[in-house]
């Protein structure tokens, strides 16, 4: 058994998940990496202990180069699969994107691979990523800027969650058995075994950052230390272990730190986040963004984590918001921070008004909420118990019943209150702050106001001393509030 095959076999067998793999889907492009992978796997399943394993070939055309080249690659892959009596699937990218090409192409490719796994009932997926790929990817991410998770780079064996064309979710073991091989080793192996492959000519074009890193930057660094690739990959594996340890710790703490309110909304407990050390706050927020937020938002500004840290620690302004990412906001309301999609601007509520134009009649405030001014004789004990809220009034000093209307708060609103020193006026805005009413709810609170624009009642919160009965027998009217549905 030659050294390359032995190293490959040992790598595959080192993964416990390999024991569960009966049907293995191979992502084969037609390049040297994937054609060597295909050759090695064909050799492996010919061994007696693995003759029950089935290989499935999956080829995806990204349509980013000339049709002639893609046709040649596909023909090579299909002919090789037929030669060895392998099941194969081919597909193409129907609508190649004009921007963010690498990420979108990867997404389209893995969607196709998820379809193949479903169709073939595959147990695991293998790709031909090698050591050069791993180092180039990590280096490229460092140049562009990345997170702790981004520095973990290309993992050699893990459970991958993929979405198929029908939006079904596929979970599979993703294996990269060539991850410890240099690309030069694969060229030598292909030559020694006369393996046909096609070279991607776009790999020579220096307009792509990855190609500049591969052809210009990394060779210079490798001259300083020939072990640079192995050293960087070893560091990458240490970072992967470190991230995994932090992730497992975070998962234990997540139910205490935040709650998922619905599909696209979370509430962070400010006090619980403050109790963490600075280091854990930053690491846990990073993990939240990488493992939770990015799944629904697609991206986020790296500065968003710093803004959120400030929002957690801010003791002077417990109610404010900022843009977290395109279409997303972080909204602090006292002891909680809500991370949610940015809502469209709501209509101005301060101009909305309902006049209580007659007594003993219900008026709708919308959303099933009703209010009315009723004569005392009209209201019995059972009725008072049945409603959600009420306010007793003494209007005996008026020849005509004062006119009341309902509206939302306006700048300068005051309410008359009593104290041991006599009556005084207090701003509605101050009451809302003192009662810690979230800013998002303040403009939605209903106020009962008389024709002099004096606030009589903040429904559900505070009532004025004006019209307040001194004795039960002085009650002449009731304001009743009822949630009908």
Q: Each residue of 216-258: pLDDT tens digit? A: 999 999 999 999 999 999 999 999 999 999 999 999 999 999 9
Residue 32 annotated as lining a ligand binding site:
yes
pLDDT at 40: 97
On whether the pTM is more than 0.75, the answer is: no
pLDDT tens digits, 155-191? 899 999 898 989 888 999 999 999 999 999 999 999 9
- Give the span between the Cα atoms of 346 and 180, in whole angstroms: 56
State the DSSP string of 242-270. HHHHHHHHHHHHHHHHEEEEETTEEEEEH
Per the annotation, does 29 bind a ligand?
A: yes
C-alpha dist (Å) from residue 52 to 36, 58, 84: 21, 20, 15
β-strand partners of 58: 27, 89
Q: Which 3 state secondary structure label does DSSP give 447?
A: strand
| Mean per-residue pLDDT of the chain | 89
Sign of CA dihedral 149, 152, 154, 158: negative
pLDDT tops 50 at residue 282: yes
Q: Is 287 a residue whose pLDDT tops 50?
A: yes
Residue 266 has pLDDT above 50, yes or no: yes
Model confidence at 350: pLDDT above 80: no
Q: Is 34 annotated as a binding residue?
A: yes
CB 151 within 8 A of CB 141: yes
Report which of 468, 460, 407, 453 is spatially closest to residue 432, judged by C-alpha positions. 460
Residue 115 assigned to a binding site: no
**Domains by residue range for the chain, with CATH:** 3-224 (3.40.50.620), 235-341 (3.30.465.60), 353-483 (no CATH)
Asked if pLDDT for residue 27 goes beyond 80, the answer is yes
Q: For the chain, what percent of residues have pLDDT higher than 90?
A: 56
Q: Which two tokens stand for residue 429?
A: 């805005």
Does residue 345 surpass a pLDDT of 70? Answer: no
* Predicted local confidence at residue 346, as pLDDT: 45
Alpha helices in 91-208 (DSSP H): 101-120, 131-144, 148-151, 183-192
Q: Give yes or no for a contact between 192 and 98, defined as CB atoms under 8 angstroms apart.
A: no
């Amino acid at each position: 058994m030659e050294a390359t095959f032995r190293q490959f076999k040992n790598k595959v067998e080192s993964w416990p998940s390999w024991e569960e793999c009966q049907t293995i889907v191979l992502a084969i492009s037609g390049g040297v990496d994937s054609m060597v992978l295909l050759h090695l796997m064909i050799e492996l399943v010919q061994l007696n202990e693995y003759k029950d394993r089935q290989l499935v070939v999956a080829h995806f055309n990204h349509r980013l180069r000339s049709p002639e080249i893609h046709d040649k690659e596909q023909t090579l892959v299909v002919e090789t699969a037929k030669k060895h009596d392998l099941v194969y699937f081919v597909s193409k990218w129907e609508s190649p994107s004009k921007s963010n090409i690498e990420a979108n192409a990867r997404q389209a490719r893995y969607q196709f691979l998820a379809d193949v796994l479903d169709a073939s009932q595959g147990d695991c997926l293998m790709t031909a990523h090698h050591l050069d790929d791993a180092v180039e990817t990590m280096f490229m991410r460092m140049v562009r800027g990345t997170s702790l998770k981004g520095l973990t780079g290309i993992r050699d064996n893990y459970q991958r969650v993929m979405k198929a064309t029908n939006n079904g979710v596929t979970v599979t073991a993703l294996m990269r058995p060539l991850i410890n091989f240099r690309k030069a080793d694969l060229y030598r192996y292909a030559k020694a075994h006369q393996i046909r492959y096609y070279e991607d000519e776009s790999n020579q074009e220096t307009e792509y950052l990855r190609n500049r890193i591969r052809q210009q930057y990394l060779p210079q660094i490798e001259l300083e230390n020939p072990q640079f690739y192995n050293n960087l990959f070893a560091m990458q594996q240490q970072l992967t272990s470190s991230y995994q340890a932090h992730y497992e710790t975070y998962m234990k703490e997540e139910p205490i730190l935040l709650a998922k309110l619905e599909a696209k909304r979370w509430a962070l407990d400010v006090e619980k986040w403050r109790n963490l050390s600075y280091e854990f706050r930053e690491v846990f927020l990073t993990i939240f963004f990488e493992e939770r937020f990015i799944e629904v938002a697609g991206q986020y500004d790296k500065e968003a984590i710093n803004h959120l840290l400030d929002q957690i620690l801010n003791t002077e302004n417990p109610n404010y918001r900022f843009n977290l990412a395109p279409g997303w906001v972080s909204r602090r309301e006292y002891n909680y921070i809500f991370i949610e999609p940015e809502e469209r601007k709501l209509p101005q509520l301060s101009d909305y008004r309902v006049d209580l134009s007659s007594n003993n009649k219900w008026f709708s405030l919308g959303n099933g909420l009703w209010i009315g001014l009723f004569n005392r004789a009209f209201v019995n004990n059972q009725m008072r118990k049945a409603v959600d809220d009420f306010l007793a009034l003494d209007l005996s000093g008026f020849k005509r019943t004062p006119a009341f209307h309902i509206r939302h708060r306006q700048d300068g609103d005051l309410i008359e209150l009593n104290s041991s020193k006599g009556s005084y006026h207090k701003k509605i805005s101050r009451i809302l702050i003192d009662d810690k009413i979230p800013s998002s709810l303040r403009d939605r609170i209903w106020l009962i106001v008389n024709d002099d624009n004096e606030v009589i009642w903040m429904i559900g919160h505070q009532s004025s001393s004006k019209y307040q009965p001194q004795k039960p027998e002085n009650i002449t009217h009731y304001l009743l509030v009822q949630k009908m549905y």
